[in-house]
Amino acid sequence: MKNDPAARSRLEVLLTYAGVKALFWHRRAAFLYRIGLKLFARMLAEWTRRRTGIEIHPAAKIAAGVFIDHGAGVVIGETAEVETGVVIYQGATLGGTGKERGKRHPTVRKNAVISCGAKVLGGFEVGEGAKIGAGAVVLEAVPPYATVVGIPARVVKIANPTEKRE
For residue 108, give Cα distances in angstroms to 19, 118, 150: 17, 13, 18
pLDDT tens, residue by residue, 105-149: 999 999 999 999 999 999 999 999 999 999 999 999 999 999 999
Mean pLDDT computed over 51-80: 95
Domain assignment present for 152: yes
User: Considering the domain boundaries, does residue 130 fall inside one?
Assistant: yes
State residue 2's pLDDT score: 61
Count of domains observed in the chain: 1
- 5 part of a folded domain: no
**88 pLDDT exceeds 80?**
yes
Q: What is the spatial distance between Cα 144 and Cα 130, in angstroms, rounded to a whole number? A: 5
Q: How far apart are CA 79 and CA 124, in angstroms?
A: 11
Indicate the pTM of the whole model: 0.88
| Domain range for 122 | 10-158
Give the CATH number of the domain where residue 145 resides. Answer: 2.160.10.10
